[in-house]
Amino acid sequence: MRAGRLDRTITLQRETETVSPAGTVTSTWTDFATLRAELLSNVFAEVARAYGEGDGADMVFRIRHYHGLTTKDRLVYAGQPYGITGIVELGRRRAMELRCEALS
């Protein structure tokens, strides 16, 4: 993977739960990595959803391999959070492609 193509900065976040002294559980997203990435595609397409047709924003990012990343995590690019819907490993722990969908 050529470093010159990694021209975008993304932040990976993981959901954490905290319990207040009163016993209330709150969920927050915590940054756990800031990485350089290559934006492969930025596609605005109609996406078939279980409840009908809708507009979705799909993006595909390529990053260097990051151990422990799952689809439960999310990605933030240009201030917009994206849910990770798919992870494809490229090579033998060389790189990863992250398929993401914009969150509202």
Backbone angles phi, psi at 14, to 5 degrees: -130, 140
Nearest by Cα to 71 from 42, 37, 98: 98
Fold of 3-102: Thrombin, subunit H (2.40.10)
Question: What's the pTM value of the predicted model, to 2 decimals?
Answer: 0.80
Q: What is the pLDDT of residue 46?
A: 44
- Sketch the domain layout of the chain as residue ranges: 3-102
Which amino acid, one-letter code, is at 63? I
**Distance between CA atoms of residues 75 and 3, nearest Å:** 20
Lowest pLDDT segment from 1-10, 33-42, 93-102? 1-10
